[in-house]
Amino acid sequence: MFQHTPALVIVKMKNFIVLIIALIYHSLVWGQNTFKAIIKDSETKEPLVGATLMIKGTTHGSITDKNGLVQISDIPNGTWVFVFRFIGFIEKTDTVNFPVIQTEPLVIFLSESKEEIDEVIVTATRSSRIISDIPTRIEAISGEELEEKGNMKPGDIRMMLNESTGIQTQQTSATSYNSSIRIQGLDGKYTQILRDGYPLYSGFSGGLGLLQVVPLDLKQVEVIKGASSTLYGEGAIAGLVNLVSKMPERKRDLSFLLNGTSALGIDMSGFYSQKFERIGTTVFASYNSGSPYDPSGIGLTAIPKFNRVTLNPKIYVFVNPKTMLNFGFNSTIEDRTGGDIRYIEGKGDSIHSYYEKNKTNRFSTQFGLTHQVNDSSDFKIKNSLNYYDRKIEVPDFRFSGIQYSSFTEVAYSIKKQHQEWVMGLNLWTERFKQDKTDSTKVVDYNHTTFGAFIQNTWNASDKLAVETGIRGDYQNEYGFFFLPRISTLFKVNNHLTARLGGGLGYKTPTIFTEDAERLQFRNVLPVDESKTNAEQSVGGNLDINYRASISHGVSFSMNTLFFYTQISNPLILTRLSNSIYEFQQPDGYIDTKGIETNVKLTYNHIKLFLGYTFADVNQQLNGTTTTFPLVSKHRLNNVIMYELEDKLKVGLEAYYYSPQKLNDGNTGKDYWICGLMTERLWKHFSIFINFENLFDTRQTRFDRIYTVTITNPVFRDIYAPVDGFVVNGGIKIRL
């Protein structure tokens, strides 16, 4: 009997293995397919740049280039459903059975939607997805809603955010109108504000941030509530707000806005954008001014005298279909003076001599590079450099300084059939140098944070998606922070979805908080970094969303969010016996828990919005539990809109604020704010008028805003409007 030698057996086994590998490779090669399509506007036949092609039930997809061409490779054999989408157009699907031989790209025509757009693409999680498909809960203010809110306050975004459930803007100066944003009752220092993913409004530069962003060049505003430090690093304990700028498109966008108010304010804005063959550009410019306004007759400004100029040009370079560069420059210059009306009008004397002056110069640059490596992966680089110079002056005191900051990020993303990965590194620097004017100790600091992150979005099935993320940050003064988070999306059926998520967050201490801003940073000692820990948080939320079409022309949706966040090592500004203020870190924590509910009912041309926020915020410090100040425990949002498409908009709104505990131990009065807005539209222009605070709700009508004397006022907390009833109106031109 013939027997094989061991060497011969090994050789034959190797040949057999090679044959098997070759067969497997051959099978894989023939089992992978490529699909190409060109997506166009059905009316103009122009290619739609930035339209998306997705394989249904997966994260495998791509975006059209300048010619409307999109391509997906590595598609296994079988039957697949392709979904074609573009904002403002009706979604289309096509079923393809692979293998198939495709000699020319399939041409897909999308029709412009005449219905209200509920689905928008958001970018705050670094994943450009339809909002309904993202496991992380995101709220977006976009489209007509953004324009309507912009009509009410064209000069800044303060009101736009304040009219959302769970968000409250807190005025920190009685005379200069300075404000911060609070999410779910937590201090403004715990909210991170981004512009196109760049952190531009932190530290010293955050004090006037809300008042210096004009909304005309915004495409949408994205809000994530709850611990979000895993996404962009420190500061997002309560949540983050991402301001998304408009991008240039082939169709020219040239618009102007002119607005005037009964408080003698004026807003003038202009925006231009257009995309050419290899170059695109956006240019935004605005001039905003206000006159000293005192509706209560107490002699102090409710609205200060101010002049502000903003210029934001941006250039896009489309190097090739796979590579895009962008360069941007933002500048804001403002002089703002509040205080005694007679002093501001040049009639001051020894009694009428109080003032609060704010002079700011804000300059920042942005650079971005996006390169599509292949059909399933891309590479991005971001960089911003920021310069912020602000001078605050009151009688006998001045606080001024310059803040330099930078942000650099390198990220790589991979989109597979059922998964999407994003990983990256970033470097964040922030340095503040105070101008020394007396013998007090300066509050300078120099912070550097290096971070690394990785995020995964997994479509486990058509009904379940999971998003997980891990970030590690090393901060030069406060050490290392490990920040995991998880969010899960359950699609119960076509009408009902639920999201469950949570994560950790942190905030590095600086003196730039709401409490110190109220004092103009006077007699505030610098943070002793050797004796101070970073503030850290843990939080979670459960979101339930239901929507349905009841009958023709009638739709209903309801969203409910349950939330909880706890902050350990809170930094508390404490007054010492010698009228000096020091940041201390007592044992204990601050926590917020509650519920937000939004209901929307649409009947033909009528839309009804109802919102309720319950926020129970407490601080347990050194064994004593107290209510956190300046939080409306109960808030109601009520808005009814009547709209004729491209012709007329009429809106009536009413907001209720329950009593708030004040820092002096007293309790403020509850109140309602009501408003009426209308806009008449034509093809190239519209006229709008807004009656804000119809019933003239003012804190000065039912409470005092200062004590002692008008010469040396000691201001109380501002918990209600001080400007009262104001009418504004104007014209918008679109060419």
Lateral strand order in the sheet of 61-63: 61-63, 52-55, 78-85, 92-98
Instruction: Annotate 555-591 with b (16+ C-beta within 10 A) or e (fewer).
Output: bbbebbbbbbbbbbbbbebeeeeeeebebebbebbbb
The single-letter code of the amino acid at 56 is: K
pTM: predicted TM-score of the whole model, two decimal places: 0.85
**Other residues' Cβ atoms within 10 Å of the Cβ of residue 460:** 12
- Give the gyration radius of the chain's Cα atoms: 28
- Token pair, residue 636, equals 């109601």
- Spans in the chain with pLDDT lower than 50: 1-14, 16-30, 115-117
The pLDDT value given to residue 114: 54
- Token pair, residue 145, equals 């809603």
- Could you tell me the domains of the chain? 6-110 (2.60.40.10), 139-734 (2.40.170.20)
Of 544, 650, 573, 637, nearest to 607 (Cα)? 650
Q: pLDDT by residue (tens digit) across 106-144?
A: 999 998 765 444 567 778 777 767 788 889 999 988 888
Q: CA torsion, points 274, 275, 281, 286, in degrees to nearest 10? A: 20
Q: pLDDT by residue (tens digit) across 29-64?
A: 445 788 999 999 888 888 888 788 988 877 678 888
The pLDDT value given to residue 367: 97
The pLDDT value given to residue 270: 97
**Other residues' Cβ atoms within 10 Å of the Cβ of residue 432:** 22
Q: What DSSP letter does each residue of 308-322 carry, written as one string?
A: EEEEEEEEEEEEETT
3-state DSSP assignment of residue 528: coil
* Residues with Cβ within 8 Å of residue 712, at least 6 apart in sequence: 354, 395
3-state DSSP assignment of residue 188: helix
Assess contact for 284 and 217: CB atoms under 8 A.
yes
The pLDDT value given to residue 21: 47
* Residues with Cβ within 8 Å of residue 472, at least 6 apart in sequence: 451, 452, 453, 480, 481, 482, 483
Bridge partners of 311?
Answer: 285, 331
The pLDDT value given to residue 714: 93
Instruction: Annotate 512-537 with b (16+ C-beta within 10 A) or e (fewer).
Output: bbbbbbbbbbbbbebbebeebebbbb
The pLDDT value given to residue 228: 83
